[in-house]
Amino acid sequence: MANGSDLMEKLVSLCKRRGFIFQSSEIYGGTGSVWDYGPLGVELKRNVKDAWWRSMVHERDDVEGIDAAILMHPRVWEASGHVDGFTDPLVECRNCHRRFRADNPDIRWTNQCPVCGTKEAFGEPRMFNLMFKTFMGPVESQAAVVYLRPETAQGIFVNFQNVLTSTRQRIPFGIAQIGKAFRNEITPGNFTFRTREFEQMEMQFFVEPGTDDEWFEYWKTSRMEWVKSLGIRPEKLRFHEHAPEDLAHYAKKAYDIEYEFPFGWNEIEGIHNRTDFDLGRHQEYSGKKLEYVDPVDRDKRYIPYVVETSIGADRVTLAVLADAYREEEVEGEVRVVLGLHPRLAPIKVAVLPLVKKDGLPEIAEQIQRELRRSAIPSFYDDSGSIGKRYRRQDEAGTPFAVTVDGQTLEDGTVTIRDRDTLRQERIDQSRVVEYVRERIR
């Protein structure tokens, strides 16, 4: 049975074997801490993102969605404080030249290199900016420097007035976005937990100053509920409040939602009270008014405060995977199961003719055609013993398996097997689509 670090190794191996996640550019030896999603992984992560968008945008009338570009005007990052402040302290081992974050307690207290063991290995830390730089246009000069965004939030702040004037929103309201972010992390690792290219799902909620504490509490509770709705076990989730000295440069208050990964408790989402810091700075740097004018009392003007919710799509997907992985003994054999919530599972139903003859494949193909027509992701498998076929689907997290057998020829019924309870029930083949659809909502 898997536990601790062993579990992580098994998860990484399953992800590769079954096509969830591959090392980027693997045939060239891989790119440091960048990962690609395979056929099952892309579906899983997309389902996580869709669940977020649905609860954040479609099910609310006070949040609008946008999709801002990754490249932004370089002044954005001066205004936001990232050019000066988005840094980590870096030290380098004088012997093996490996680099580490100087604020890692092991490094700070021992001053010993964890790789080559050299004592008194590190000198004074230097500050290292985590933003990736590139050049806009053909000339590689300082004037052409642009950054790959380290957070999606700034695309929302700079579009605040555009969204306000193009919609009928009034404060309080929010703007949501899903998109790529890039950070040149000094110590990435733990699979997709800390990477250099990742996706964020962020929402900025604009409120009247003075109501921010209340809204902060609202979003803190609401976000924890959402994370639980993904099927993650509640006992593996907790809040962690940032101490004042650990707050990001823009935050007045911050809570993380943490998950107990096999490598320990770690942040999956941040809820921040960003005050009027960002809009205030953009107003100052751009020279454009970013005030909100109350539509009823036009003398009431203010720069809105912002409560931000920010979750990594890759990181929460990793939490979903780690939480879903289990090994069980069934009839003397170990079965590996990904107990994914049916709404998140990449394949919803497997269609299995018991044998490859007697007209069973034709019936199974017909059932699969109907599933496809209803846009329910399914998988047809007629190779190997039925037990082996079930195991393959268990590992992929497929919640249901439909088996077409001899009785189907007699009475038109099929069995539906539940991945978790292993119970099988017989239903009419015409009800398969409806049965599955009801359970994957």
Residues from 226 through 245 that contact ligand GAP (CB under 6 A): none
Q: Answer yes or no: are the C-beta atoms of 15 and 321 closer than 8 Å.
A: yes
* Residue 208 found at the interface with ligand GAP (CB under 6 A): no
- For tokens 């997290």, name the residue: 397
| Position among 92, 103, 260, 267 found at the interface with ligand GAP (CB under 6 A) | 267
Structure tokens at 436: 């599955």
Give me the DSSP letters along 139-205: --SGGGEEEE-S-SHHHHHTTHHHHHHHS---SSEEEEEEEEEE---SS-BTTTTB-SEEEEEEEEE
Cβ proximity to ligand GAP, 88 vs 308, nearer residue: 308
* Residue 202 found at the interface with ligand GAP (CB under 6 A): yes
Q: Answer yes or no: are the C-beta atoms of 113 and 96 closer than 8 Å.
A: yes
Q: What sign has the CA pseudo-torsion 317, 323, 328, 334?
A: positive
Nearest to 389, CA basis, from 397, 378, 377, 401: 401
| Position among 80, 129, 200, 429 found at the interface with ligand GAP (CB under 6 A) | 200
> Quick check: helix, strand or coil at residue 23?
strand
Nearest to 46, CA basis, from 232, 338, 320: 320
Q: Answer yes or no: are the C-beta atoms of 382 and 367 closer than 8 Å.
A: no
Q: Which range in 18-26, 114-122, 195-203, 275-283 contacts ligand GAP by CB under 6 A?
A: 195-203
Number of residues that bind ligand GAP (CB under 6 A): 19
Residue 115 CA: distances (Å) to CA of 94, 95, 100, 178, 262: 12, 10, 10, 37, 22
Q: Which range in 17-25, 194-202, 213-221, 429-437 contacts ligand GAP by CB under 6 A?
A: 194-202
Q: Answer yes or no: are the C-beta atoms of 198 and 314 closer than 8 Å.
A: yes
* Residue 194 found at the interface with ligand GAP (CB under 6 A): yes
* Residue 155 found at the interface with ligand GAP (CB under 6 A): no
Q: Answer yes or no: are the C-beta atoms of 50 and 42 closer than 8 Å.
A: no
Q: Which range in 107-115, 268-276, 355-363, 367-375 contacts ligand GAP by CB under 6 A?
A: 268-276
Give the shortest CB-32-to-ligand GAP separation in angstroms. 12
Q: Which range in 193-201, 209-217, 353-361, 417-425 contacts ligand GAP by CB under 6 A?
A: 193-201
Cβ proximity to ligand GAP, 213 vs 267, nearer residue: 267
Cβ proximity to ligand GAP, 122 vs 255, nearer residue: 255
* Residue 153 found at the interface with ligand GAP (CB under 6 A): yes
Give the shortest CB-66-to-ligand GAP separation in angstroms. 15
- For tokens 């609401």, name the residue: 222
d(C-alpha 426, C-alpha 408), whole Å? 10
Give the shortest CB-197-to-ligand GAP separation in angstroms. 8
Q: Which residue minimizes CB distance to ligand GAP?
A: 312
| Position among 262, 304, 312, 346 found at the interface with ligand GAP (CB under 6 A) | 312
Residues from 167 through 186 that contact ligand GAP (CB under 6 A): 183, 185
Cβ proximity to ligand GAP, 49 vs 392, nearer residue: 49
Cβ proximity to ligand GAP, 152 vs 368, nearer residue: 152
Which residues lie closer than 8 Å to 128 by C-beta, 6 or more apart? 87, 88, 89, 90, 184, 186
| Position among 315, 341, 343, 419 found at the interface with ligand GAP (CB under 6 A) | 315
d(C-alpha 88, C-alpha 106), whole Å? 16
Nearest to 336, CA basis, from 315, 321, 351: 321
Residues from 93 through 152 that contact ligand GAP (CB under 6 A): 151
Residues from 269 through 288 that contact ligand GAP (CB under 6 A): 269-270
Q: Which range in 132-140, 239-247, 266-274, 296-304 contacts ligand GAP by CB under 6 A?
A: 266-274
Binding residues for ligand GAP, rule: CB under 6 A, are 151, 153, 183, 185, 194-195, 198, 200, 202, 267-270, 308, 310-312, 314-315
